[in-house]
Structure 1
Amino acid sequence: MIFDYIKPGDDSLLTDYAHSIGAKRTVHWLPLLMLVWTFWIFATPIFQTGDSFPNWLWPTLASFAVFLWLFFRVYYRDRRQVIWCALGMVALGFAVTPVNPGAQGYIIYGCAYLVFSGSTRVAVRNMLCVLVLYSFEWIVLLHFYWVYLLSAVLVALAVAFMNINFLRKQEREAELRLSHDEVRRLATTAERERIGRDLHDLLGHTLSLIALKSELANKLFDRDAASAKREMADVERIARDALAQVRRAVTGIRAAGLAAELASAKLLLQSNGVHLECEIADVCLPVEVETALAMSLREAVTNIQRHARAAHVRIVLEAARQAVTLRVEDDGRGGAIVPGNGLAGMRERLAAIGAQLQVDSQRGRGTVLKVTAPLPLSAGAESEPAAALRRA
């Protein structure tokens, strides 16, 4: 297909739109869909005059070729060129309207893309200036019926404000992604600092003791081999104890995952006007279990934000002697669940630790996602990440 050889610029409208909807490939269908409305550029004069081959045809064909070139650049080239392409479309509308009233379509396209010319205030000002000047040409200079102009103005305003809303939504989503990244970065930084402090506290005294005992054993080696041997045995024991302590400490490197995901979930849902309730049990979770639960929570909250249209969400973490249960409930629209890559990846991740996933979704009554994961018998004491979750 010809579009497979057309690559949009990194700062083009088409690339921005693909990023906003999470598409992995260029959405070439969008420009093609937008071209459907050019039908009226040719249909309007035919319906008005009934003549399929009047004097307006050749100027319209020539202007349409220029329009297609400008239209291509709007979607596939740098966004800084959009303003000039939009003004070019407006110029085509002013030039061709005297011979073809359907050229008002060029004005509509131009106004639609003028919204990308800067701030909302500047975009609206530019668009209103174009519409006022075009109205002057239509009514005062050409003496066309104002009723036909009214429809063009209303359509131009509607499309332009739709694009403004789309632009503002893109900006909000970009800010939200930055906020999520910042939450995770801060959580990672805090965890690294905690691990650094723990390692310093654990190893500072231990390594000093090992150094002293090794020095003592070296001095005793020639005159009291038995005492030197005992000192070296103490060094071995202390080193093994230190190694076990280090392993226990670094086990928590990723243990803040659930706390970070809960904070991110609050940010995501509350920014979309969704009320969130949390009930988090105090439980020490193994790293692999907490990581799987954190990723499941992220996927569940993302699906709620994208598809559920919920007003309330409840997240519950319950712990028993041999299992921990994560339940995410929403009051959204519910309905049949279409398995996708996210849900399939969640099942695979949970299956790797012996956990089970249950999804109950009823139309009009919301969705309940339940994850049950096994716990070691020793799990039950409160951990620092769990305490952080409880405080959240």
Structure 2
Amino acid sequence: MALPVPRKDSLLGSLHSPAYLRWQAALQVLWLFALIQAPWAVNGFHWRWFLPTVLSIVIYLVCYAQAFLGSMKRLPFHALAIVATGFALWPVNGVALGLVAIGLALLAFAARPGLWLGATAAAAVLTLAWSVVFGIPAWHAAVVALTGLAGGMSNFLYVRSARRDLELRLSQVEVRRLATLAERERIGRDLHDLLGHTLSLITLKSELARRLAMADPARAQREMEEVERVARHTLGEVRSAVTGLRAGDLASELVAARVMLEASGIALDTSMPDALRLPESVQASLALVLREAITNIHRHSQASAARVDIIRTGKEFSMRISDNGRGGLAAHGNGVSGMRERVRQVGGSLAIDSPAKQGTTLTIALTLSPALTESVA
């Protein structure tokens, strides 16, 4: 049986179905066993509480599923329906307090603080009324208010953070796409400028050499030697232009890194050679390492400033990524193992200095082999 697919405009669909929300959705269904087990253990079986409880479970499951899988516009309706179901069941089943708390927490996912806070206050007042009419302990009003505020605040902050992360990821993709497009346009212009005049010159000299081949062989030979010289010079310029396209990966990652960190309130300083030339495989691996390190700074560092220094001296290459955050980065946590493996695959080493509350510094060192150096020469 296939699992239900969330709508694109649903809570799960709009956030690209994060694992945290899927786990939360599953775990908050399991507590329904307590809705039957607790009153059965205290009062024994009786249709007076059992039938309303079963009906409330059906309503809860339908509304709960729609809160995660249905349209976000309908989420407040489904959350409030769960709250109303909880109050309706409460006089015969005290565990229905959980329905009220979950409904209020779900309401915060709608990212409408006024509605969620107002509903929490109304639920607390209604609990006081229930205490008068049905004899429910009055202190349950405080429980409703506290659980509604605590659970709702957690969900509200999570959704806000998840949406910001999603927007940053999308902006990074767009920045990389635009950087790639701009680089392709630059290479196109460079190749046109390089080859247009040169190929015309080669064509003219080749035609001249063909006409002189019989009448003046010595001059024809000189013309062909000139064609060879021009062709070799142009080949070197084309290689330089293509190398510039490959070397754009790290530069593009630095642009994307600045977008991500500055959107999070983290200032980024960078230092990179104007004409950094690295083998394509090395460039790709280092770009991924830089991306993972910047993501860690954004998500975990709590820093206000970061810096990336890229240095190439002959065969020696180093990249230093530092921040002034909380430090304490685990040697094998937060993607470090993956970064270490990528650096190892290109023959380099990764060192981490991350004392608690003193920031984190990652240093990547690499010695390029002669073969790799010559491949971009």
For the criterion TM > 0.5, the same-fold answer is yes
Q: Cα deviations across residues 158-185 of structure 1 (Å, max 9, x unaligned)? A: 3223222222112211221232223222
Corresponding residue of 2:375: none
Distance (Å, rounded) in 2 between the aligned partners of 1:123 and 1:116: 11
8 Å CA contact 2:128, 2:141 repeated in 1: no
Q: Does 1:243 align with 2:243?
A: no
Per the TM alignment, residue 40 of structure 1 is displaced from its structure 2 partner at its CA by 6.2
Alignment-mate amino acid for residue 30 of structure 1:
Q
* 1:82-161 alignment runs, 5 A limit: 82-117=75-110, 120=112, 123-124=115-116, 127=119, 131=123, 134-135=126-127, 138=130, 142=134, 144-161=136-153
Alignment-mate amino acid for residue 195 of structure 1:
I
Q: Does 1:208 align with 2:200?
A: yes
Alignment-mate amino acid for residue 333 of structure 1:
G
Distance (Å, rounded) in 1 between the aligned partners of 2:76 and 2:293: 40
Corresponding residue of 1:359: 352
Corresponding residue of 1:337: 331
Moved more, 152-161 or 203-212: 152-161
Corresponding residue of 2:166: 174
Residue from 3, 6, 18 that aligns with 1:9: 6
Alignment-mate amino acid for residue 256 of structure 2:
S
Q: Does 1:35 align with 2:32?
A: no
Per the TM alignment, residue 244 of structure 1 is displaced from its structure 2 partner at its CA by 2.4
Distance (Å, rounded) in 2 between the aligned partners of 1:354 and 1:105: 56
Per the TM alignment, residue 206 of structure 1 is displaced from its structure 2 partner at its CA by 0.4
8 Å CA contact 2:49, 2:93 repeated in 1: yes
Closer, same or farther in 2 for the Cα pair 1:214/1:283, shift >3 Å? closer
8 Å CA contact 2:82, 2:100 repeated in 1: yes
Per the TM alignment, residue 116 of structure 1 is displaced from its structure 2 partner at its CA by 4.2
Moved more, 281-290 or 93-102: 281-290
Q: Cα deviations across residues 242-297 of structure 1 (Å, max 9, x unaligned)? A: 22221121111021222222232233233334344444456633243544433322
Distance (Å, rounded) in 1 between the aligned partners of 2:101 and 2:285: 51
8 Å CA contact 2:15, 2:163 repeated in 1: no
8 Å CA contact 2:244, 2:277 repeated in 1: no
Alignment-mate amino acid for residue 229 of structure 2:
R
In the alignment, structure 2 segments of 5+ residues that lack a partner are 373-377
Alignment-mate amino acid for residue 209 of structure 1:
L
Closer, same or farther in 2 for the Cα pair 1:248/1:321, shift >3 Å? closer
Corresponding residue of 1:301: 294
Distance (Å, rounded) in 1 between the aligned partners of 2:310 and 2:192: 33
Closer, same or farther in 2 for the Cα pair 1:28/1:276, shift >3 Å? closer
Distance (Å, rounded) in 1 between the aligned partners of 2:145 and 2:348: 59
8 Å CA contact 1:329, 1:369 repeated in 2: yes
Distance (Å, rounded) in 1 between the aligned partners of 2:229 and 2:115: 74
Query: What is the aligned-residue RMSD (CA, Å)?
Result: 3.7
* 1:227-376 alignment runs, 5 A limit: 227-280=219-272, 284-288=276-280, 289-330=282-323, 331-338=325-332, 342-374=335-367
Distance (Å, rounded) in 1 between the aligned partners of 2:287 and 2:357: 27
- Number of residues of Structure 1 aligned to a counterpart in Structure 2: 368
8 Å CA contact 1:112, 1:160 repeated in 2: yes
Per the TM alignment, residue 92 of structure 1 is displaced from its structure 2 partner at its CA by 1.8
RCO higher in structure (CA 8 A, sep ≥6): 1
8 Å CA contact 1:335, 1:364 repeated in 2: no
State the SS of the aligned residue for 2:43.
coil
Residue from 188, 191, 198 that aligns with 1:199: 191
Closer, same or farther in 2 for the Cα pair 1:271/1:56, shift >3 Å? same
8 Å CA contact 2:271, 2:310 repeated in 1: yes
State the SS of the aligned residue for 1:337.
coil
Closer, same or farther in 2 for the Cα pair 1:45/1:346, shift >3 Å? closer
8 Å CA contact 2:128, 2:138 repeated in 1: no
Per the TM alignment, residue 218 of structure 1 is displaced from its structure 2 partner at its CA by 4.1
State the SS of the aligned residue for 1:328.
strand
